[in-house]
Chain A
């Protein structure tokens, strides 16, 4: 039952919404534009919006100066590895809780969520110390494990809410028809669970990619991902707005694109299924 809206009203809505949307997006747009300017144009007064000499020079300089590719690779390994590992651990757990619920399932779920509330800074030193003793400081393996652990509750929760939507009747029907447990999982549950798992992977990859407490404190050179790459630009050296913009654009572009695909999952994942 769509409410009928007059065209002028829709026009006003559109204009207003676009204005607000562009205002919010402006810092990102400005960063992307600046990344194609020369340093002189980047700080020109008054600021130049579009009519500058587009150049790719900054990207080349950033890559050359700080080896962007290595940070990118670290980000991919750390975010990808922690997500993959988390899903491998979480799928069986969420599965069991969704399909064989017991009296304690709810308590276990809430307890898992509570581990997410642990402020990172409260356990910073112990983790730091453990990392030194285990030789994990500044290693990708160490960060994969830590990020897997901090995102595990969200992964379990998201998967649980998705799995719970798979109707139990289908399983019973399959059992009646004589499907074994293996067949049941392989041919009935898995195809129905794939979209949920994919959404979970996507959102957690984004969260791990942007994580900026552990990645800053537990890495130095070898394992530093893009969050640390950008932080290294915090002390300006001469003219650097355009290079900063190029570095920033390279750090956020991959995830911005992925993020746009994951809007829907974002709500469910970050509210632990409380808002759908």
Chain B
């Protein structure tokens, strides 16, 4: 068992990591909170004094707030729906016996390793460009008028780009979960004459529920802060300004730090609501 001595050594070994993360969390967080109660315009007069909850009220009452919430929800919800449904189907498919399984897996996983700026630019130009993009060629081939995707169908386009990036993640995790399923159980059900759909809904899906929850929670945290994909495609125009992007614009583009910081506090609260659920699941897993 651990002695007094080894305990103090352990504490010493943990200290650097704990201190660094504590600093990383507390210093900027305190500053964000501090700025959020100030009228602070670095380029137009600097610190103009305390304003109480003014920034918080102005942030939520500004005309761009609700559209940004809506954009955020559409991106998070849309990408989650697409990646989870397709991810389950794809994981089931990849679990089947086939030739070249390893290669197919690699093909499916590849988009996850493409940096966000690259995938956004490739989709924007090579596929969604209204004149020379592949989609435009495809549309013309079928005699349809090409669509300027990122302005006329901006949200679906961005949801599609982000889904393409995250589908591999969902698939990989769900596949790992499917492979841990006891195949004897499935065989028994098969022998008892359960049709494939029943086997899916009563055995496979319940088995996957925990993995699906984890996929949803982790993706939500990353999707709430989608940035580069919007930065290089629409720059927040055409209704694609998410909460993250709105805060970014307030802080760095219009240099209204007080207002942006209040928005930042909202974003932190929102992320923490999701995080609490994720932590519960992960925490339970630690005890097991």
- A interface with B by C-beta (< 8 Å): 1-3, 5, 10, 13-14, 16-18, 20-22, 24-25, 27-28, 30-31, 34, 43, 45-47, 89-90, 92-93, 95-97, 99-102, 106, 108-110, 112-130, 149, 152-153, 156, 206, 209-210, 212-213, 216-217, 226-228, 230-231, 233-234, 236, 240-241, 244-245, 248, 251-252, 255-256, 258-260, 263, 266-267, 270-276
Q: Are A231 and B231 in contact (CB under 8 A)?
A: yes
CA–CA, A109 and B267, complex, Å: 23
Q: A13-B98, A24-B107, A25-B110 are in contact. List 15 more A-B contacts (CB 8 A).
A: A2-B97, A10-B97, A18-B104, A27-B126, A31-B126, A113-B279, A117-B271, A124-B252, A124-B260, A125-B257, A126-B35, A149-B24, A227-B115, A234-B232, A251-B118
> Provided the pairs A20-B90, A21-B108, A123-B29 are in contact, do residues A156 and B17 lie with their beta carbons within 8 angstroms?
yes
CA–CA, A271 and B218, complex, Å: 7
B285 CB, nearest partner CB in chain A, Å:
5
For chain B, the count of residues having a C-beta within 8 Å of the partner chain is: 107
CA–CA, A45 and B137, complex, Å: 7
> Provided the pairs A10-B98, A126-B27 are in contact, do residues A276 and B115 lie with their beta carbons within 8 angstroms?
no
CA–CA, A110 and B129, complex, Å: 45
What sequence of 0s and 1s flags, for each residue 70-110 of chain B, a beta carbon within 8 Å of any chain A beta carbon? 00000000000000000000100110111111011111111
CA–CA, A32 and B17, complex, Å: 41
Which A residues touch B28, using CB under 8 A?
Answer: 123, 126-127, 130
CA–CA, A45 and B138, complex, Å: 10
Q: Is B197 an interface position by the 8 A CB rule?
A: no
Which B residues touch A5, using CB under 8 A?
Answer: 96-97
Q: Is B119 an interface position by the 8 A CB rule?
A: yes
Nearest-CB residue, chain B, relative to A16: B93
Q: Are A89 and B20 in contact (CB under 8 A)?
A: yes
Q: Are A1 and B184 in contact (CB under 8 A)?
A: yes
25 intermolecular pairs with C-beta atoms under 8 Å apart? A14-B99, A17-B94, A24-B107, A25-B107, A27-B126, A30-B126, A110-B282, A112-B21, A113-B282, A115-B25, A117-B271, A117-B275, A118-B25, A119-B224, A119-B268, A122-B29, A124-B248, A124-B252, A125-B252, A126-B31, A213-B227, A231-B117, A234-B121, A263-B172, A275-B210
Q: Is B209 an interface position by the 8 A CB rule?
A: no
Q: Is B201 an interface position by the 8 A CB rule?
A: no
Q: Which of B252-271 contact A (CB under 8 A)?
A: 252, 257, 260-261, 264-265, 267-268, 270-271
> Provided the pairs A112-B21, A125-B32 are in contact, do residues A274 and B16 lie with their beta carbons within 8 angstroms?
no
Which B residues touch A120, using CB under 8 A?
Answer: 225, 227
Q: Which of A108, A248, A259 contacts B109 (CB 8 A)?
A: A259
Q: Are B267 and A259 in contact (CB under 8 A)?
A: no
Q: Which of A121, A153, A241, A266 contacts B267 (CB 8 A)?
A: A121
Which B residues touch A90, using CB under 8 A?
Answer: 17
Q: Are A122 and B268 in contact (CB under 8 A)?
A: yes
CA–CA, A256 and B168, complex, Å: 13
CA–CA, A206 and B116, complex, Å: 12
Q: Are A236 and B125 in contact (CB under 8 A)?
A: yes
Q: Are A100 and B97 in contact (CB under 8 A)?
A: no
Binds A, one of B6-14, B49-57, B58-66, B151-159: B6-14
Q: Which of B9, B187, B260 contacts A96 (CB 8 A)?
A: B9
Q: Is B195 an interface position by the 8 A CB rule?
A: no
B189 CB, nearest partner CB in chain A, Å:
13
CA–CA, A126 and B36, complex, Å: 11
Q: Are B187 and A267 in contact (CB under 8 A)?
A: no
Nearest-CB residue, chain B, relative to A164: B286
CA–CA, A213 and B171, complex, Å: 25
Which B residues touch A17, using CB under 8 A?
Answer: 93-94, 96, 98, 101, 104
Nearest-CB residue, chain B, relative to A271: B214
B195 CB, nearest partner CB in chain A, Å:
16
Q: Are B2 and A100 in contact (CB under 8 A)?
A: yes
Q: Which of B110, B140, B244 contacts A259 (CB 8 A)?
A: B110
Which B residues touch A18, using CB under 8 A?
Answer: 100, 104
Which B residues touch A102, using CB under 8 A?
Answer: 2, 7, 10
Q: Is B48 an interface position by the 8 A CB rule?
A: no
Q: Are A13 and B164 in contact (CB under 8 A)?
A: no
Nearest-CB residue, chain B, relative to A94: B17
A202 CB, nearest partner CB in chain B, Å:
11
Q: Is B203 an interface position by the 8 A CB rule?
A: no
Q: Are B132 and A24 in contact (CB under 8 A)?
A: no
CA–CA, A260 and B172, complex, Å: 12
Nearest-CB residue, chain A, relative to B31: A126
